[in-house]
Chains A and B, each alone.
Chain A
Amino acid sequence: MRRPENLRPAAAPFLGFARLLRDHAFPIAPEQTISFMQAVTLLGPRSMNDIREAALATLAPSPDHRGEFEAHFRAYFYGDAKPSIEGEEDDETRVKDDRGTREEENQTTREEKGGDLSSTLEQLSSRDFQRDADGLDQFRRKLASALPARRSFRTTRTRSRGTLDLRRSLSEIVSADGDIPVPLLRRRQTVPRKLLLLIDISGSMKLHTADYLKLAHAAVQGAERAEVFTFGTRLTRITSALRIRDREQALARAATLVDDWDGGTRMGPTLLAFLSVPRFSAFARGASVVILSDALERGGHAELETAMRRLSARAFRLSLATPLAGDRRFRPATAALRAILPVLDDLVDGSSVGSLTDFILSLARPAPAADSIWKRVS
């Protein structure tokens, strides 16, 4: 990039604007600044709007941050009052991506009254995790090979059972001077399916969240493609925190990311919020989705039902692990559970890490639908 003193004075504001955006965490590369100035020159600029269009096209703010970008633009070039960027905080389910970006949803949520265990009151608190490991290391090692698999479009070399690998065979033939040696084969690869863990961290799940997060850490470490979200009154993606190898560090980082520890549950609305972010719902497609929650949704469960139906339509296998099922007398008797039971593939015991790891390791094996199992029991 050219040094500022070689630039004409008129160009300085554009450089300054790029710098301002960078200060506000917009990722802007030097080459983008150069294109921005080239674009402004190309366009004339005949009006302020030309500069704005040039900035939009070359500095490429992501659509989620478009409003913030416009505010900075006005503030910088028109000298408006400093932008107040903090989004309006009404009744929306907030989605927090751990990359620091936040997406405002148009999913409105109803305030629901009542419920002692699962209240909709947000109780924001932080918590740290320090407890030692159990059989999780073993789980981590086994996981990659135990997840359900699908056939990939990519191929791999093989010695038996495959189609002819013409490219390699041909070069063999050429190097063997026209002789045809043993034909070389290739076959479509199998790759493990994605694993999506959705962890309920509301007050009613208090006893289990620490264990669940340890499990999630082991899953992210072990599986090739795993994503972990927590939900209570909000939805938070904690996958990248859990990518840190050291468990204590990873969990401490995750603990700071999440704001709604031990608060209320808004399971339906948060799951709908999850589905309405295209990036997230695309991850659920063809994945094994495991929800760790007691599914104690107070008030109406219509939203929960819709969300679960949409999830199950996307997922390869949709499972709900509830700690309540640890009790022998447990029956899916609540209205919410009865409503979602038909779309669930599994409804299993989530009361201990042991039972959960066993279940996740068995995901690749077919099992009868949750509906039929629980009908037999009751």
Chain B
Amino acid sequence: MTSADAAKVAESPEAIAARLAASRYLADDSLATAIFLAIRLGKPLLLEGAPGVGKTEAAKAVAELLGRELVRLQCYEGIDTGHALYEWNYQRQLLAIRHAGEHEIDIYDDRFLIARPLLQVLRAPERRVLLVDEIDRSDHEFEALLLEFLSDFQISIPERGTIRAATQPIVILTSNRTRELAEALRRRCVYHWIGYPDAQREAEIIMLRAGDVAEATARAVAIAVQQIRARPLAKPPGIAEAVEWANAATILEKGGSPWPEAFRRAIGVLIKDEEDLSAIAPELGRIVAEALS
């Protein structure tokens, strides 16, 4: 798919939202607008939000919507060029030198180049979407490297020269906001903060994502999760956990537990912190009962 095709797909925020829904991702207007702008302005999209609100899922949905392959780069502290850009296949190079004997051989040939995510995307921007996941986990050095990549979409390999992208690739960055990102990076991107959805949207998401969950269950889960998130927990449950909870409760109910009991017994998939569990335990019965009514 060329960039002209991408522009055709992204003719309006509503078209994007509809196509995202077709790939089983429910985006609100604001997110659809941000995606639309990122594609049309040719800028990277920076998604921030608490863990489990569907940032990575959004990236997957965008790749699906454009009919492109998603290349994911997971960041961590100490990530370097060898993991992000490229690496030489030294073993093969050595073998090739031996094999060549007296002949001349170019050991910096494409055969010996292992392309890492950034280079992969640069080589085929029409076929791939780059996801730089959890950029807040990387250190400042990597952020600076990424900044260079995102502004010019080029990589220089000392042995080979500079490789430039034929067209501008689509890049999505996500951050959990465990640390403040450099202003320069935020400035280059189209920005969107993904918050927790309201109860109705969350119920729709649960219906869409969970296996076979009754509508009433989905709605009850959404309401209860909203209530639980309002409590001062160390780790408020994300959307993924809510979906799991709905699934788990449904399975338990089919196994013979009555409704409120099924929710209570499946709480372990929703809240995964001992302290939070004991904090919420006394109120859980009431919250579930209210949500079910």
Which residues of chain A have a CB within 8 Å of any CB of chain B? 27, 29, 31-32, 35, 38-39, 42-43, 49-50, 53-54, 56-58, 60, 62-63, 66, 106-108, 152-154, 166-167, 169-170, 173-174, 178, 278-279, 281-283, 306, 309-310
CB neighbours (8 Å) of B176 from chain A are 278
Bound complex: CA of A256 vs CA of B186, how far in Å? 30
CB neighbours (8 Å) of A60 from chain B are 46, 186-187, 189-191
Bound complex: CA of A27 vs CA of B186, how far in Å? 10
Bound complex: CA of A279 vs CA of B48, how far in Å? 13
Residue-wise, chain B 101-114 has the 8 Å CB interface mask toward A (1 for contact) of 00000010000000
CB neighbours (8 Å) of A38 from chain B are 41
Please tell me if the beta carbons of B177 and A43 are within 8 angstroms of each other in the complex: no
Bound complex: CA of A152 vs CA of B90, how far in Å? 23
Please tell me if the beta carbons of B43 and A173 are within 8 angstroms of each other in the complex: no
B29 interfacial by beta-carbon distance below 8 Å: yes
Give the distance to chain A from B255, nearest Cβ to Cβ, in Å. Answer: 35
The closest CB in chain B to the CB of A188 belongs to B78
Q: Which of A58, A169, A279: most chain B Cβ within 10 A?
A: A58
CB neighbours (8 Å) of B33 from chain A are 43, 50, 53-54, 57
Bound complex: CA of A67 vs CA of B76, how far in Å? 32
B212 interfacial by beta-carbon distance below 8 Å: no
Please tell me if the beta carbons of B13 and A279 are within 8 angstroms of each other in the complex: no
CB neighbours (8 Å) of A283 from chain B are 179
Near A by CB (< 8 A), chain B positions 106-163 give 107, 136
Please tell me if the beta carbons of B34 and A57 are within 8 angstroms of each other in the complex: yes
Give the distance to chain A from B242, nearest Cβ to Cβ, in Å. Answer: 20
CB neighbours (8 Å) of B30 from chain A are 53, 56-57
Please tell me if the beta carbons of A35 and B43 are within 8 angstroms of each other in the complex: yes
Range of interface residues on B (Cβ < 8 Å):
35 or more
Give the distance to chain A from B8, nearest Cβ to Cβ, in Å. Answer: 14
Q: In the complex, which of the residues A31, A57, A107, A178 contacts B232, with contact meaning CB atoms closer than 8 Å?
A: A107
Please tell me if the beta carbons of A56 and B90 are within 8 angstroms of each other in the complex: no
The closest CB in chain A to the CB of B40 belongs to A42
Q: Which of B36, B37, B90, B93: most chain A Cβ within 10 A?
A: B37
Bound complex: CA of A27 vs CA of B190, how far in Å? 15
Q: In the complex, which of the residues B29, B41, B48, B90 contacts A170, with contact meaning CB atoms closer than 8 Å?
A: B90
The closest CB in chain A to the CB of B190 belongs to A57
Bound complex: CA of A278 vs CA of B193, how far in Å? 15
B21 interfacial by beta-carbon distance below 8 Å: no
Given A63-B48, A173-B94, 12 further pairs, Cβ under 8 A = A50-B33, A56-B192, A60-B46, A62-B180, A106-B232, A107-B232, A108-B232, A167-B88, A167-B90, A278-B179, A282-B179, A309-B275
